[in-house]
């Protein structure tokens, strides 16, 4: 079970860092789209990016100290539930032009739940 938890944690950490870094730095198209399309402030977008980057660090350290990995995965679950809610409120799931981008938090949500469960079972 630990190998599964490790693989899920590493994949989730890489994805979370890749998604969070541009938001934390406010660089690229994604932070600009979150600000213009969803009406989020620059500070809130940066906070989301820092939370995703912190989850990535927590997931990697959690490979050695599993309670931190479980906490990081759980925090990412909460963050992704919020992201899914924001995308639903903006109507991104019904618009074919924005649907693909809006499905990313759903995938991250499922991966985060799986990582938290497998880390818990591996303890």
DSSP of 52-120: HHHHHHHHHHTTTSHHHHHHHHHHHHHHHHHHHHHHHHHTTTT-TTTHHHHHHHHHHHHHHHHHHHHHH
pLDDT digits (tens, 9 = 90+) for 9-58: 999 999 999 999 999 999 988 888 888 888 889 999 999 999 999 999 99
**What average pLDDT does the segment 111-119 reach?**
95
**What average pLDDT does the segment 49-69 reach?**
95
Close Cβ partners of 26 (under 8 Å, ≥ 6 residues apart): 42, 45, 46, 49
What's the whole-model pTM score?
Answer: 0.90
Please name the residue that has the structure tokens 């600009």: 32
């Amino acid at each position: 079970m630990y190998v599964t938890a490790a693989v899920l944690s590493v994949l989730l950490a890489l994805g979370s860092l890749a998604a969070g870094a541009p938001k934390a730095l406010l660089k690229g198209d994604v932070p600009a789209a979150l600000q213009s399309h969803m009406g989020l402030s620059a500070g809130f977008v940066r906070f989301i990016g820092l939370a995703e980057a912190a989850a990535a660090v927590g997931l990697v350290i959690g490979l050695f100290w599993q309670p931190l990995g479980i906490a990081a995965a759980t925090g990412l679950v909460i963050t992704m539930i919020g992201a899914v809610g924001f995308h639903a409120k903006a109507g991104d799931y019904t618009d074919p032009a924005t649907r693909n981008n809006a499905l990313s938090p759903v995938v991250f949500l499922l991966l985060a739940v799986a990582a938290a469960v497998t880390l818990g079972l591996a303890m």
